[in-house]
Amino acid sequence: MTSIVALFGDPVASNPTSQMHNAAFRGAGLDWVYVDIRVPAEALPDAVSAARTLGFAGLNLTIPHKVAVVPLLDVLEASAEITGAVNTVKRETDGRLVGLNTDGLGFLRALIDVGINPAGATVVLLGAGGAARAVAVELALAGAAAVVVANRSAPHCEQLVALLRRRTRVRAEGMLWAGRLTPPRCDLLVNCTPIGMGTGATAAALPPVDIESLAAGTVVCDLNPDRAESAFVRAARARGLAAYGGLPMLARQGAAGYEAWTGLPAPLDLMVKALEDAAGPNRQAG
């Protein structure tokens, strides 16, 4: 019987996760399939219930479901419990749905793979949603010195700052993002917002951030998984800054999900290649 894993999100168009996982399943000779399912916010409870009934082997969650899915699950692993956000769900043999958060781990491994150690770094995060929580917690646990959260909504910003102060040792601060943001001096600037995701004109959108004000050594990252090189990454590189897109993170967090679902080592090279093919020839994923 074919095992099914699904991505729940809105939107899910152009997300290369399905290509990555289906390539990995085929390469391992597994009778598994990964499908993208558009699930509006109000339909998430019914979608999770259907996944239980149909016996899905696992799930991925993307915008806007990473936080909303938490109360719909049976168990949370440590990273998901700390962040209050889930991007991966595995089904246990007894039918329980277990929530994991591999976003932060994937981001950290992607940084390390290009020689960036976040220990002692000052980080500015754009956004305060589920992905920002995962990245902030993982960087804090990896020894970042300070995390500044910039967000348009003060309550969400304050909640993430309070979480970091309560559960980690990092120095955490918040700043209200109104109009065009001039980031404070930092070693790492990470776009955790959906700005620039999608196709057409939306893909060309840039977060309203003054990139010109960033110091020469600042590293810019964009969690956008839609393409190998987002508009924000291109803008940062045009400024002469080191900049990295979301595909390396996606490959590494996907590898963690693959291992949770199947119990097998992930074929990371094959997964990265699938992401490169899905993104096109403009840049490689790793």
Strand 88-91 relative to strand 58-61, pairing: antiparallel
Active site residue 90: no
Contact between 198 and 226 (Cβ < 8 Å): yes
Q: Which of 21, 65, 66, 227 is catalytic?
A: 66
Element (H, E) at 251: helix 247-262
Residue 203's SS3 state is: helix
Tokens 């959906």 correspond to what residue?
A: 194
Burial class (CB in 10 A: 0-12, 13-18, 19+), 212: exposed
Those residues whose C-beta lies under 8 Å from the C-beta of residue 282, and which sit 6 or more positions away, are 227, 228, 229
Catalytic residue ranges: 66
